[in-house]
Amino acid sequence: MGGDYAPAETVRGALVAQREAGVTPLLVGDEAALRAQLDAEGVEAAPWQIVHVPEAVAMDEHAVEAVRSRRPTSIRKSAEMLGADEVDAVVTMGHTGAAVAAGVLIVGRLPDVERPGLGVLLPAHDPRPLLIDVGANAEARARHLVQFAVMGRVYQERLQGLESPRVGLLSIGEEESKGNSLVHEAAAMLASGGVNYVGHVDPAHIFHNEADVIVCDGFTGNVVIKTAEATAEYAFGELRAEVVKRPLAKLAALGLRPAFRALRRRIDYAEIGATPLLGLKGLLLIGHGRSKAPAVTNALLAADRAVRAKLVPTIASGLESATA
C-alpha cells in the first residue's frame, strides 16, 4: 500500500514479476482495494494471497512512533511475517523511516550490527558501486561505517559477483588529511583490516570507478543521492526549456529521443527497483516512493535474487569473521 502510486502500480508491478519471473508475491494491505485492482487488471484473484491490513503509515507520520504505537499497519504486519519466517522477503515503496523502524524493532538486527544501513547502487559504470548508508540513520559513528563496509562488501560479492570489492570512504578531498573527525576515525578503522580499503572517494569522483563500495553516514549519503537526482532533473528540465524556445532545436530533439531514452534507462532508479536494508535478520527492501510498475517488478526481482544469493546469512557470517 505504500508509495505515491499504490495500489495500482504496485499491483501491476507484482503481476509482471509473477508472470515473467515466477516470483510469488503476497500482497499486504487493504483487501478490497487490492482485489479491486486485481479485478481491474483482469486477474483471477484466487491464486493471489492477500493479507488484509486496512491501515498504512502516512508519509508525514513520525516513523518510530508509527511503529512503536503497535497500530496494525501494512509495514508492521509485513515485518512481523518476515520475522516469523512466513515470507522470504519484504518489499516496500512506502515511508522509508517506518520501514527502517519496523526492520529494527520487529525483524531485528543481526548480532554484530548496531545500525542497519541502506545502500543504493549508483547509476555509474558497471559493476555499479554501492553507496551505503543513504539515510537509514541520520547520524553515525565510525564503527557503524565499518559495519556498512563489511555488509557492502558481502552485497557486492554475492549479488554482483565481485572478488575482493574495493571499499572507499566518502570525503571532501582525496588526501587523508581532508574530511571531518568522523571520516578520520573511520579511515583509521577501515585501514586496519577486514575489507579491501582504498581510501577516500571525493564526491567529484563518485562516478569514476574508484571503489565498489562507498561508505558514509546516512545524512551525507542521503544528501548525495538527492542532490544527484535534483541536479539531473534540473539540468534536463533546463535543457528542455532551451529546446522549446528554438523551432529548429525542437525538430532536432526528435532525432535525439532514442539517445535520451537510453540515458534515462541507465540513470533511472526504476532499473534498480529497490535496495535492501542491510544488517537485519531478514530481507527487507526499500524502493523509491515514486516507483511505478516497472520499478516494483524490478524490486521484486531484486528481492528474489537476494534470497537465492543467501544475502542475509552471508552478511551474518561476514560480520562475525570481521569482528572475531
Binding site for a copy of itself (CB under 8 A): 60, 62, 124, 135, 138-139, 170, 172, 175, 177-181, 202-207, 218-220, 222-224, 226-236, 238-239, 242-243, 245-246, 248-249, 251-256, 258-260, 262-263, 266-267
Nearest approach, Cβ of residue 168 and a copy of itself (Å): 14
Nearer CB in complex with a copy of itself: 217/304: 217
Three-class SS state of 198: strand
The C-alpha torsion from 292 through 270 and 96 to 119, rounded to 10°, is: 170
Instruction: Give the C-alpha separation, 265 to 5, whole Å.
Output: 20
Nearest approach, Cβ of residue 177 and a copy of itself (Å): 6
Nearer CB in complex with a copy of itself: 52/205: 205
Which residues are paired to 130 by β-bridges?
Answer: 121, 213
Task: Tell me the C-alpha to C-alpha distance, in Å, between residue 17 and each of 14, 34, 227.
Answer: 5, 16, 31
The C-alpha torsion from 248 through 249 and 253 to 256, rounded to 10°, is: 100
Nearest approach, Cβ of residue 46 and a copy of itself (Å): 41
Three-class SS state of 60: coil
Nearest approach, Cβ of residue 278 and a copy of itself (Å): 19
Instruction: Give the C-alpha separation, 2 to 92, whole Å.
Output: 6
Nearest approach, Cβ of residue 226 and a copy of itself (Å): 4
Nearest approach, Cβ of residue 253 and a copy of itself (Å): 6
Q: Which of 229, 214, 213, 222 is nearest to 170 (CA)?
A: 214
Pairing of strands 283-287, 274-278: antiparallel
122 within 8 A of 223, measured Cβ to Cβ:
no
Nearer CB in complex with a copy of itself: 71/266: 266
Instruction: Give the C-alpha separation, 313 to 92, whole Å.
Output: 21
Instruction: Give the C-alpha separation, 228 to 209, whole Å.
Output: 17
Nearest approach, Cβ of residue 193 and a copy of itself (Å): 26
Nearest approach, Cβ of residue 225 and a copy of itself (Å): 8
The C-alpha torsion from 110 through 115 and 118 to 121, rounded to 10°, is: -80
Nearer CB in complex with a copy of itself: 84/249: 249
Instruction: Give the C-alpha separation, 104 to 65, whole Å.
Output: 13
Q: Which of 162, 37, 113 is nearest to 276 (CA)?
A: 113
Q: Which of 123, 134, 124, 196 is nearest to 170 (CA)?
A: 134
Nearer CB in complex with a copy of itself: 164/180: 180
